A and B are shown apart, each in its own frame.
Chain A
């Protein structure tokens, strides 16, 4: 997903769009759309920070910052008591450890889809259920079924077979949620999980996954109001920090020559 946040003292406009392969063109498009919502012109934006996998494809950004720093900044501003962030995206999954709002350690899996939200996306599709419905459905399970495949590709096949065998959909979904919750926590425990634990990313919108994580952790987790936006909020805050610092010190803000225009694809 591609997200935009425009802010001054508070968020003026935000939006979330599906990431397409043509990322440079997409970045322009979502920025234009967000500016329209905010009723701002591009020249009125003081500073632009890009983050995430495609951050180098945001040609008009003044600065690129890693998503780890941005997530940490965003979450810590929303929930200051946070010590551990679990970010569950469709492309990767991260565990970030904070102390007094600063990143002290992190772990990430972007190597294997089975430990990311993609696992649920693909298996939900195979089962013919909408991604936004699987969490609720899984909570109605009485007897979660064990999913023996780790690999997403083989799990996809396994769940279809299980459904054909007559195993209730809710039990399969509950099994899938337990499987991924266990894999995620195994990874994140490498940074020592401490409360408060905040879950972000698309995974935080899945109540079945959140419950599965909580039942394994043995305590409740916190979810920010817009769990998909925390990275973009963090990027905007870091942009604002840079602008405020420059102003306070009376120094010029290091900005790039930037224009919001149609870029040549893959040039």
Chain B
């Protein structure tokens, strides 16, 4: 069996079904493979319900599976996504044994990074490096993304440097994630997955707050989808 992996990421937008169709057809185009109707497809994530004829598997299971595949020593995965932050404990087989999720709050998820990057007019992919330059981190007084936006505007008006705002933001988000991690308990190794793992400022800040080294794969955003594909392949092998 051909065990190549092809991945593709596009923004979800408002219509999950259209986004899914587009992502699949673009990924297939990349891979030069035809779409075979008989192949099992697993959908996961917030919009999984909108994908017709797919098996739906929770993103917890998919994250555990994908993390375990890429980083076999991981026993804890922290997923920092656009809507949630999740902490997942997993066994050596890539099965999720327990998890905790933040409420759907932009302040506790990766969304706050997008909101603040936008206010500061810094590209999302640049905030991590910029944050690491900070010499004088600000202290954020809020964990709400909306109020953090207001606070950022005030700070910038006062003449605070962008890197100091970002370092403060990373610290505040790291502290919030740490409190979620503490509630579940962490077992090493601990991996960081999801889009948030691409932000080096957040990774460093979390490592500092948690007092441990985090495992980060070079493609952290694809982990849940990879997990879904692995589960789909298992289904295909069984049938």
Let me know if A112 is at the binding interface, CB within 8 A.
yes
Q: Could you tell me if B106 and A160 are in contact, using CB atoms closer than 8 angstroms?
A: no
B153 cross-chain contacts in A, Cβ below 8 A: 21
Q: Could you tell me if B158 and A21 are in contact, using CB atoms closer than 8 angstroms?
A: yes
Q: Could you tell me if B103 and A153 are in contact, using CB atoms closer than 8 angstroms?
A: no
Q: Could you tell me if B14 and A111 are in contact, using CB atoms closer than 8 angstroms?
A: no
Q: Could you tell me if B143 and A111 are in contact, using CB atoms closer than 8 angstroms?
A: yes
- The answer, among A111, A149, A161, A164, for a CB contact under 8 Å with B144, is A111
Q: How far does the Cβ of B134 sit from chain A's closest Cβ, in whole Å? A: 19
A160 cross-chain contacts in B, Cβ below 8 A: 14
Q: Looking across the interface, which residue of chain A has its beta carbon closest to that of B146? A: A113
Let me know if A151 is at the binding interface, CB within 8 A.
yes
A149 cross-chain contacts in B, Cβ below 8 A: 104
Q: Could you tell me if A21 and B146 are in contact, using CB atoms closer than 8 angstroms?
A: no
Which residues of A82-122 have CB atoms within 8 Å of chain B's CB atoms?
A: 91, 110-113, 118, 122
Q: Could you tell me if A152 and B146 are in contact, using CB atoms closer than 8 angstroms?
A: yes
B106 cross-chain contacts in A, Cβ below 8 A: 151-154
Q: How far does the Cβ of A93 sit from chain B's closest Cβ, in whole Å? A: 13
Let me know if A64 is at the binding interface, CB within 8 A.
no
A110 cross-chain contacts in B, Cβ below 8 A: 147
Q: Could you tell me if B143 and A150 are in contact, using CB atoms closer than 8 angstroms?
A: no
Q: Could you tell me how many residues of chain A have their Cβ less than 8 Å away from some Cβ of chain B?
A: 20
A161 cross-chain contacts in B, Cβ below 8 A: 14
Q: Looking across the interface, which residue of chain A has its beta carbon closest to that of B145? A: A153
Q: Looking across the interface, which residue of chain B has its beta carbon closest to that of A161? A: B14
Q: A111-B144, A153-B145, A161-B14 are in contact. Are A21 and B157 (CB under 8 A)?
A: yes
Let me know if B105 is at the binding interface, CB within 8 A.
yes
- The answer, among A21, A22, A150, for a CB contact under 8 Å with B104, is A150
B14 cross-chain contacts in A, Cβ below 8 A: 157, 160-161, 164
Contact bitstring B102-130, A, C-beta under 8 A = 1, else 0: 01111100010001000000000000000
Contact bitstring B132-170, A, C-beta under 8 A = 1, else 0: 000000000011111100000110011100000000000
Q: How far does the Cβ of A70 sit from chain B's closest Cβ, in whole Å? A: 22
Q: Could you tell me if A113 and B104 are in contact, using CB atoms closer than 8 angstroms?
A: no
In the bound complex, what is the Cα–Cα distance between A154 and B142 (angstroms)?
Answer: 18
B158 cross-chain contacts in A, Cβ below 8 A: 21, 266
Q: How far does the Cβ of B116 sit from chain A's closest Cβ, in whole Å? A: 11
Q: Could you tell me if A21 and B154 are in contact, using CB atoms closer than 8 angstroms?
A: yes
Which residues of A121-165 have CB atoms within 8 Å of chain B's CB atoms?
A: 122, 149-154, 157, 160-161, 164
Q: Looking across the interface, which residue of chain A has its beta carbon closest to that of B114? A: A153
Let me know if B83 is at the binding interface, CB within 8 A.
yes
Q: Looking across the interface, which residue of chain A has its beta carbon closest to that of B154? A: A21
Q: How far does the Cβ of B84 sit from chain A's closest Cβ, in whole Å? A: 11
Q: How far does the Cβ of B60 sit from chain A's closest Cβ, in whole Å? A: 20
In the bound complex, what is the Cα–Cα distance between A21 and B111 (angstroms)?
Answer: 24
Q: Looking across the interface, which residue of chain B has its beta carbon closest to that of A23? A: B154
Which residues of B161-201 have CB atoms within 8 Å of chain A's CB atoms?
A: none
A151 cross-chain contacts in B, Cβ below 8 A: 103-107, 145
B145 cross-chain contacts in A, Cβ below 8 A: 113, 151-153
Q: A21-B153, A154-B83 are in contact. Are A113 and B103 (CB under 8 A)?
A: no
Contact bitstring B74-90, A, C-beta under 8 A = 1, else 0: 00000000010000000
Taking A21-B153, A113-B146, A151-B103 as known contacts, 15 extra A-B pairs with beta carbons closer than 8 A to each other, sorted by chain A number, are A21-B154, A111-B143, A113-B145, A149-B104, A150-B105, A151-B105, A152-B146, A153-B145, A153-B146, A154-B83, A154-B104, A154-B106, A154-B111, A157-B14, A161-B14
Interface residues of A (CB under 8 A from B): 21-22, 91, 110-113, 118, 122, 149-154, 157, 160-161, 164, 266
Interface residues of B (CB under 8 A from A): 14, 83, 103-107, 111, 115, 142-147, 153-154, 157-159
7 A-B residue contacts at CB 8 Å?
A: A21-B157, A113-B145, A113-B147, A151-B107, A153-B111, A154-B104, A266-B158
The 7 closest A-B pairs by CB, nearest first: A113-B146, A153-B106, A21-B157, A161-B14, A21-B154, A151-B105, A152-B146
